[in-house]
Amino acid sequence: MLTLNQNVILLLGTCLLSLAFTLTLNRMWPCESRHNQNDLVGWQLSILGTTYAVILGFMLYAVWSEFGDATLNTDLEASSLRNVYRLAAGLPPGPQKELQSEAKAYAAAVINNDWPAMAQGQLPNASHEINEHMWVTLMSVKGSSASENTAEDHAITELSDMTTRRRTRLVQSTTRLPVIFWCVLLVGGLLTLLSVNMFASQNPKLHVFQVFSLTLLITLVMLAIADVNRPFKGWVHVSNYPFVRAQETMHDLGD
pLDDT in tens, 223-253: 999 999 999 988 889 999 999 999 999 998 8
**What pLDDT shows up at residue 184?**
93
pTM for the structure as a whole: 0.86
Separation between Cα atoms, residue 245 and residue 77, nearest integer Å: 12
**What pLDDT shows up at residue 199?**
74
**Full DSSP string of 10-35:** HHHHHHHHHHHHHHHHHHHS-GGGGG
Task: Read off the amino acid at residue 179.
Answer: V
> What is the total residue count of the chain?
255
- Listed in sequence order, the residues at least 6 apart from 2 whose beta carbon sits closer than 8 Å to its beta carbon are 10, 223, 226, 227, 234, 235
**What pLDDT shows up at residue 38?**
63
Neighbours of 124 (CB within 10 A): 19
**What pLDDT shows up at residue 36?**
67
Q: Is 136 helix (H, G, I), strand (E, B) or coil?
A: helix
Separation between Cα atoms, residue 44 and residue 22, nearest integer Å: 18
Q: Give the chain's end-to-end CA distance (angstroms, integer).
A: 40
**What pLDDT shows up at residue 52?**
92
Separation between Cα atoms, residue 69 and residue 64, nearest integer Å: 9
**What pLDDT shows up at residue 235?**
83
Q: Is 141 helix (H, G, I), strand (E, B) or coil?
A: coil
Domain boundaries, the chain: 4-254
Q: What is the tens place of the pLDDT at every residue in 181-230? A: 999 999 999 988 888 877 767 777 887 888 899 999 999 999 999 999 99
Neighbours of 114 (CB within 10 A): 25
Q: Identify the segments of the chain with pLDDT beneath 70.
A: 1-2, 31-43, 200, 255
